[in-house]
Structure 1
Amino acid sequence: MKKSIWVLLLVILSLGLLTACTDRATPPKEESNDSQKDQEKSEQPMVIENGEEVMRVHYIDVGQGDSTLLEVEGFSILIDAGNWKSTEVIDYLKQQEIKNIDIVVGTHPDADHIGQLAQVIGEFDVGEVWMSGNSSSSATFTNALQAIEASDTEYVEPRTGDVFDVGSLQIEVLHPSEITGSPNEESVSLKMTYGDVGFIFTGDAGVKEEQEMIDTDIDLNAEILHLGHHGSNTSTSLAFLKAVTPEIAIYSAGAENSYGHPHAEVIAAVENTGAEVYGTDVNGTIVVETDGKSYNVNTQQEGVPTEGQNRCIDINIASSAELQEISGIGETYAKSIIDKRPFENIEQLVDIKGIGQGTLDDILEQGLACIGG
């Protein structure tokens, strides 16, 4: 509830940092699937004959970020809100004529997942915001908390084993069971089940957290898996794939991004299970339609997933451990970078006390640090 928001704001205050389009014109390609491993492709839309309500799950092309819209029986759920430097999420929601959003889930505080959360709350009537409870000192996160506090939106911290019903859609919380201050690893992870068709979302949770999900007594089997951490090899273990046994895997990544997303070994592992892989970097916005018995996968454009470019470390979203891979950046400087971000460019690192021009020159020469992907 709102009391928890004040706790998070006080955490940020203690750090001294409380400061204040997707083109849908291309006709989609459609795949029809009857929830069996033997999939039959078709250029024609699936015909739903049983009169059941159709749920639509929109994996929005937000570049190097993440955002998914679910529409079911008059309800709307948004999982993550894209990158802080863009407006694709807001634009897409307006294109879909969304007025009210019943639940917005911020899987974790990274700026490429909650980047437009404050704007979403400002532009739409939002019923609840779900977050893990982990905090960030970034302006993006602070703005999101302030937007929640200034609105009538309820604040919820879901935990493993919680179950919610939204119309005929069942939401099971897979993770976290508790928080220890590891935002990415403790991403809010969910299984959404509509009839016989399941969807899994894990934010940026890693293989260790995937194993924790496996170790619960929750059935992880699902037809559609949203690949963790943009298809990075920090997620999507073989054990997790075996537990989920997806028929379709979808990842969100920026076209020609410099992080190596999706990683080739992840794509190979998924394809080796017989699942088909789609990515927003090559397919644009991806929409899955289901009546709870069968489903369609509709893509904005055709494309084959390929590995991203040479990896870089985005100083606006990287973890402390990742930042310490950058030349001259130790634990203390990494903490200062996290506290001061977001940055507009790499050169602003000299604003960190102790990082001078010499260190900046070394960072630029190394070529590992970047802004965006």
Structure 2
Amino acid sequence: MRIIRKLRVVFSFVVVVVLFGCNEAMTSKTEQTTSENTTTGQNSDPMDLEIHFIDVGQADSIYIKLPNDEHVLIDAGNNSDGDLVVDYLEDRGVVTLNHVIGTHPHEDHIGGLDDVINHFNIEDVYLPNKSATTKTFEDVLTAIDAKNLTITRAKKGVTLFGEQINDKLLEAVMLSPISESYSETNDYSPVIKLTYGDTAYIFTGDAETEVEEEILDGGADLHADVLKLGHHGSITSTSEAFLNAISPTIGIISVGEGNKYGHPNQEIIDRLMNNNVQVYRTDEAGTIIVKSNGTKIEVGTKNSTYQPNPVETTTEDNDVTTTTEEINEITVVINEVLPAPKTVYTKEWIELYNTTSSNIDISGYILDDIEDAGSKPYTIPEGTIIEANKFYIIEFSRMFNNEESDDVRLLNSDGVLIDSFTYSNTEIDSSWYRITNGGPWSDSPTDNPTPNESN
């Protein structure tokens, strides 16, 4: 059985930090530096929105983890990508997909969707009003029928979700399809705008210029910071007018290396460059991960040598700083915390959980409470291994505040934060816990803790 020596898979992240809401006009700047641990931005809110543009070659698959701990999947690559997408989601602790969108019935978008639907708990499924006679499409319908799921038609005006999270708007709305009779199947792709706080993101599937013109004619607010380009960067999409209306800082292209279609089209690349858009491509960068706290945005890649097209940006209200640093993909999480023992338990304890299917060596990792304050940090001893999908308990005396709120922090041996949790109050012999292993946290503690067992 293989052992992962480090707690995480190391990403070389090109981090683009975008700060919003300035009181006066500013001249933006793009700076590139290399640093192992770089702090950027003033806002300390957690980067609790994650958008993963999964590298599925000449295809599309986008996984979104929302700040409310819900999970969204837009497309699932080709037929051969089903297992890859399932494994990717499993590795991130996904048990339930709250919103699944198949943009249109082409194999490079819905090919792996049946595998995903068969494997996970599914709440809502969205498909456009466009069918196909292919086995790929029939397999998706069969998977939907097998779970007695209801299809919601993807069309203009459909709201996937909308709520306030810590006084920040979290919303996703479909801007298309508008017509019921497009000549191109690609045009049935829903264009979706996701808003979180002061940041916005647009996903286009394979929607082409006819749909772009319809959206523009409808007067929708298209401004967004991140644009996932339509149709893999083909000349059929991303018109000058559409791009100008969005005015993105970052453009993402999901495309296969050396594909026979010539994607992305050089004219589109030139158009992006001329509009000062930083371009990230999965064929060059691998999987691309965008993170945000609703105020700033970080963009990272798995390719340690990848740099986006270096462009100088100038806008009136954004300050853009680019740095290169190592960011960690979490594979071990804080799973349960008991901060106030008395009768049933004699010591405080923390339960860690290995979310992966491999053993993980966590030697030298650190557990702490308040950053730069509070109790002395605890260093995990050398030779400590958490088996695949298993737990590890650490006991303490007087690590935490037993009466009020406190923080629980897990850091790697370099002092980089891996995971954290803040509890708001304590109850004697009760624990704060994730509702499912590696999943969202409970809203209140339980008087039935489960150390070394599934929550």
TM-score of the superposition, structure 1-length normalised? 0.72
Q: Is the 8 A contact 1:200 1:222 kept in 2?
A: yes
**Residues 41 and 125 from structure 1, CA distance in 2 versus in 1: closer, same or farther, beyond 3 angstroms?**
farther
Which residue in 1 is equivalent to 2:292?
A: 290
Matches within 5 A, 1:154-165: 154-165=150-161
Which of 301, 306, 315 is equivalent to 1:303?
306
Where relative contact order (Cα < 8 A, 6+ residues apart) is larger, the structure is 2
Which of 137, 141, 146 is equivalent to 2:142?
146
Q: Is the 8 A contact 1:286 1:300 kept in 2?
A: yes
Which residue in 1 is equivalent to 2:181?
A: 180
Which residue in 2 is equivalent to 1:12?
A: none
Q: Is the 8 A contact 1:58 1:70 kept in 2?
A: yes
Which letter does structure 2 place at the counterpart of 1:57? I
CA distance in 2 between counterparts of 1:35 and 1:227 reads 23
Q: Is the 8 A contact 2:177 2:191 kept in 1?
A: yes
CA distance in 2 between counterparts of 1:35 and 1:162 reads 29
Question: How many residue pairs get matched?
Answer: 283
Which letter does structure 2 place at the counterpart of 1:184? N
Deviations 1:140-164 (A, max 9, x none): 1001011111114331013213334
Task: Indicate whether 1:122 and 2:118 are aligned.
Answer: yes
Which of 69, 73, 97 is equivalent to 1:74?
69
Query: How big is the shift at 1:41?
Result: 4.2
Which of 98, 103, 110 is equivalent to 1:102?
98
CA distance in 2 between counterparts of 1:85 and 1:128 reads 24
Q: Is the 8 A contact 1:191 1:200 kept in 2?
A: yes
Q: Is the 8 A contact 2:105 2:130 kept in 1?
A: yes
Residue identity over aligned pairs, in percent, reads 37
Matches within 5 A, 1:34-49: 34-35=18-19, 38-41=29-32, 43=35, 44=38, 46=40, 49=43
Which letter does structure 2 place at the counterpart of 1:148? I
Q: Is the 8 A contact 2:19 2:41 kept in 1?
A: no
**Residues 54 and 46 from structure 1, CA distance in 2 versus in 1: closer, same or farther, beyond 3 angstroms?**
farther
CA distance in 1 between counterparts of 2:39 and 2:104 reads 35
**Residues 193 and 261 from structure 1, CA distance in 2 versus in 1: closer, same or farther, beyond 3 angstroms?**
same
Query: How well do the aligned residues superpose, as a CA RMSD in angstroms?
Result: 2.0
CA distance in 1 between counterparts of 2:50 and 2:40 reads 13
Q: Is the 8 A contact 2:47 2:291 kept in 1?
A: no
CA distance in 2 between counterparts of 1:48 and 1:122 reads 43
Matches within 5 A, 1:198-347: 198-301=200-303, 302-303=305-306
Query: How big is the shift at 1:185?
Result: 1.4
Deviations 1:342-368 (A, max 9, x none): xxxxxxxxxxxxxxxxxxxxxxxxxxx
Deviations 1:220-252 (A, max 9, x none): 000000000001111011011100000000010
Task: Indicate whether 1:56 and 2:50 are aligned.
Answer: yes
CA distance in 1 between counterparts of 2:9 and 2:46 reads 28
Which of 44, 49, 59 is equivalent to 1:65?
59
Deviations 1:28-47 (A, max 9, x none): 22313225653444543646
Whichever of the two has the greater Rg, that structure is 2
Deviations 1:259-306 (A, max 9, x none): 111111101101110110001000000000000111100111133689
CA distance in 2 between counterparts of 1:103 and 1:253 reads 24
Structure 2's unaligned 5+ residue stretches are 1-7, 21-27, 165-169, 310-455
Which residue in 2 is equivalent to 1:32?
A: 16
**Residues 129 and 135 from structure 1, CA distance in 2 versus in 1: closer, same or farther, beyond 3 angstroms?**
same
Structure 1's unaligned 5+ residue stretches are 1-23, 307-373
Q: Is the 8 A contact 1:132 1:186 kept in 2?
A: yes
CA distance in 2 between counterparts of 1:134 and 1:270 reads 31
Which letter does structure 1 place at the counterpart of 2:48? V
SS at match of 1:185: helix
CA distance in 1 between counterparts of 2:159 and 2:242 reads 21
CA distance in 1 between counterparts of 2:96 and 2:154 reads 21
Query: How big is the shift at 1:91?
Result: 1.8
Which structure is higher in helix share? Answer: 1
Which letter does structure 2 place at the counterpart of 1:38? K
Q: Is the 8 A contact 1:33 1:40 kept in 2?
A: no
Deviations 1:199-233 (A, max 9, x none): 11111111111111111121000000000000111
Query: How big is the shift at 1:54?
Result: 1.4
Which letter does structure 1 place at the counterpart of 2:296? S
CA distance in 2 between counterparts of 1:75 and 1:60 reads 18
SS at match of 2:212: helix
CA distance in 2 between counterparts of 1:291 and 1:113 reads 28
CA distance in 1 between counterparts of 2:55 and 2:97 reads 19
CA distance in 1 between counterparts of 2:91 and 2:42 reads 24
CA distance in 1 between counterparts of 2:125 and 2:116 reads 11
Q: Is the 8 A contact 1:132 1:179 kept in 2?
A: no
SS at match of 1:85: helix
Deviations 1:8-67 (A, max 9, x none): xxxxxxxxxxxxxxxx84422231322565344454364674435610000000111000
